[in-house]
Structure 1
């Protein structure tokens, strides 16, 4: 594998940030738009998603959201599936946080290879349905890494059957996602500046209309 193909986000000591260093990884993700974020910014028709405001609130507060059982299942199964991908396709498991030409465009693909990346999901949906759900996440990963294709692997959560397909770049969709992401980052910076000023005055910062379920929309800077 070409070691210099990918740009890795570095921590304060110059070490690459990985998802195994969960605190540092989560902190770094707060300042950018990740592949998971990208699919929450835009609808399938390219309109601003209703999830955008809640994402903005989560970035400001550092709130991770609930850890659902299916998420825990995915954590357990991912290394097993990644080992299978490595053996069959030669794509190495990855935990590094990658950055694009814009260093605030971020992604952590589950596998990185010489010319392609991999994304792994455990789901009850079939491959076609899952590919539609995660279309923007896959395109964002291709955008960040500069790769031409991503191997999308779906393992059924109940039967453990695995299906896969190669997904290529959709340049028009990538350009649209990048435009929405950059607009989101501008708004994020504006609200973060207001939150810092509120903290300086000893006040809480209220982001109206952006309350995640079960979480107050009052934030202090971390």
Structure 2
């Protein structure tokens, strides 16, 4: 496998950051836009999402959010599914945090191969519905890694039936996601600077309501 095609985020000691080092992984993600973030920034019609402000507040506070039971189920099942993917498709399980040409564009695909990546989900939705829900997450992972296709695998949470499909790049959608992500990072940096100044003065800081117009988006 051509490991050097991927750019891995490095921690303070120079070692790659992985999701197994949860604190370091979460901290690194606070400074960029991940695949999970990308699908929270933009609506299906390409407009600024209502989730944008909550995402900004989470980045500033470092709040991870609740760990739901279905999330825990996915953590247990993912290694099993990843081993199946490796055996059948030759895509290796991955926990490394990857960076794109813009080092603040981040993703942790569940598998990486020589020419493609893999994303695994456990869900009650069927493959078609899940592919629609996670469309932007998949496109962002392709954007960050530079791969041409991602193997999307969905395992039913109740029946354990496994379905998959290959998803290719949508360059127009990727450009739109990158534009929204870059505008978000500008806002994040501005609010982070204001938060640091407020802390210096001994004051609490909460970001003001963001404009729903998304004026920085072309």
Give the TM-score band, short-chain normalised.
Answer: over 0.9
Post-superposition Cα deviations, 1:19-42, rounded to whole Å, max 9, x if no partner, equal 000000000000000000000000
Unaligned runs of 5+ in 2: none
Looking at structure 2, the residues matched to 210 and 173 of structure 1 have their Cα atoms a distance apart, in angstroms, of 23
Shift of 1:3: 1.7
Residue 217 of structure 2 corresponds to 221
- CA 1:221/1:147 → structure 2, altered by over 3 Å: closer, same or farther? closer
Post-superposition Cα deviations, 1:132-189, rounded to whole Å, max 9, x if no partner, equal 0000000000000000000000000000000000000000000000000000000000
Question: Matches of residues 81-160 of structure 1 in structure 2 within 5 Å?
Answer: 81-160=81-160
Looking at structure 1, the residues matched to 184 and 20 of structure 2 have their Cα atoms a distance apart, in angstroms, of 27
Looking at structure 1, the residues matched to 47 and 189 of structure 2 have their Cα atoms a distance apart, in angstroms, of 22
Shift of 1:208: 3.4
Conserved 8 A contact 2:179-2:217: no
SS in 1 for 2:49: coil
Residue 182 of structure 1 corresponds to 182
Q: Which runs of 4+ in 1 moved over 6 A?
A: 210-214
Looking at structure 2, the residues matched to 221 and 26 of structure 1 have their Cα atoms a distance apart, in angstroms, of 27
Q: TM-score, normalised by structure 2?
A: 0.96
Shift of 1:206: 1.9
Q: How many equivalent pairs are there?
A: 217
Conserved 8 A contact 1:54-1:210: no
Shift of 1:207: 2.0
Conserved 8 A contact 1:11-1:24: yes
- CA 1:70/1:221 → structure 2, altered by over 3 Å: closer, same or farther? farther
